[in-house]
Amino acid sequence: MEHKPRIAIVMPCYNEEEALPLSAMHLLGLLDRMAANGLISDDSYLLCSNDGSTDSTWRTICSLHSTDHRVKGISLAHNRGHQYALLAGLMAVRGHCDAAISIDADLQDDPEAIVEMVHLFNQGTEIVYGVRSNRDTDTWFKRATAHWFYSFQRSMGLNTVYDHADYRLMSARALDLLSEYGDSNLFLRGIIPQLGLTTATVDYRRASRVAGESKYPLGKMISFSIDGITSFTARPIRLIFIVGLVMLLLDILVALYVFTSYFRHQVISGWASIMLSIWFIGSLTLMAIGIVGEYIGKIFVEVKGHPRYAISEQLTDW
């Protein structure tokens, strides 16, 4: 690129009053260093997207903005979740940057990888994914469930980047294409690979949180995975059909056995087997209804066409 790009770092925040001052200081220092090296323009900035925090996160953003106007902010009227806060931030900087880089406020995703992302962007890459090369700071349980999370998504037909969270660079063109997706059931890790632009990856080592506690316990990870799968693939419904077909074949074999036993006068008292069969078939039926219900619920949300988020306050002064 002939000119120095204007970079926007977008940081979704939910109850990050402890981590935010440290994160902002680190990222602003990184912007200063990259600008001094001629890698980005001097008017590059940080935008904090407050996801309806219940602590003093928004007041902290306002304080940081008053100290350094490169810190900008928007505040969602209600807590909508990480994906909505991130999308709101990306759409806020759209048209006001050459590329946007999303990163969480805990800085577990190494900010130094941003330098390599910008280098790749300057060489023409439009989407650069940050990929974790290790999870040494996570517990064994966290690592195991995270790997299961990505593997399960792949097995369900979801096209995602393995060990990539939401740490990525997106060009202005990528942001424009993203704005055309009106999904109410947001799963950005599934949407962005569909944009069809040139991509690259940058590996980094995952660190510990700078402060505060994790906002992604196991329950949220499971819910996040279900949202992603049911928003982008119908494979679970197809699996229901396959299971039903297998059960039909088994029923035919059982019927042959029953008729053979009947005509041979080999009546077998089978209360236990009948009960087990009823419970087994009943559980499969309930699971099938639950999966179909997930899809019907998402159709219900999509057809209502409600706004995905509402911004109550903003500090942007472009």
Contact of 57 with 50, CB cutoff 8 Å: yes
Summarize pLDDT for 149-171 with one digit per residue, the tens. Answer: 667 666 766 677 878 889 999 99
The per-residue b/e assignment along 258-275, b for 16 or more CB within 10 angstroms, e otherwise, is eeeeeeeeeeeeeeeeee
Q: What is the pLDDT of residue 276?
A: 59
Q: What is the pLDDT of residue 157?
A: 65
Quote the tokens at residue 178.
């993203």
Contact of 198 with 127, CB cutoff 8 Å: yes
Sheet containing strand 7-13, edge to edge, reads 199-205, 127-134, 168-171, 99-102, 7-13, 45-50, 71-76, 311-315
Q: What is the pLDDT of residue 37?
A: 95
Q: What is the tally of helices (H) and strands (E) in the chain?
A: 10, 8
Assessment of whether the complete model's pTM goes beyond 0.95: no
Q: Which amino acid would we find at residue 260?
A: T
Q: How far apart are CA 54 and CA 15, in angstroms?
A: 6
DSSP 182-202: --SS--HHHHGGGG---EEEE
Q: How far apart are CA 59 and CA 208, in angstroms?
A: 25
Q: What is the pLDDT of residue 158?
A: 66
pLDDT tens, position by position, for the chain (318 residues)?
A: 468 999 999 999 999 999 999 999 999 999 999 999 999 999 999 999 999 999 999 999 999 999 999 999 999 999 988 999 999 999 999 999 999 999 999 999 999 999 999 999 999 999 999 998 876 666 666 667 667 766 766 676 667 787 888 999 999 999 999 999 887 777 888 889 889 899 999 999 887 766 656 655 566 666 666 666 666 666 677 677 677 777 767 767 766 766 676 667 665 666 556 755 776 777 678 778 877 877 787 787 677 666 778 898 898 877
Contact of 12 with 46, CB cutoff 8 Å: no
Summarize pLDDT for 110-132 with one digit per residue, the tens. Answer: 999 999 999 999 999 999 999 98
Q: What is the pLDDT of residue 231?
A: 67
Task: Indicate the pairing of strand 71-76 with strand 311-315.
Answer: antiparallel
Separation in Å, CA 243 to CA 96, 98, 152, 252, 292: 51, 49, 18, 14, 14
Q: What is the pLDDT of residue 297?
A: 73
Q: How far apart are CA 309 and CA 88, in angstroms?
A: 7
Q: What is the pLDDT of residue 179?
A: 94
Contact of 174 with 94, CB cutoff 8 Å: no
Q: What is the pLDDT of residue 247?
A: 72
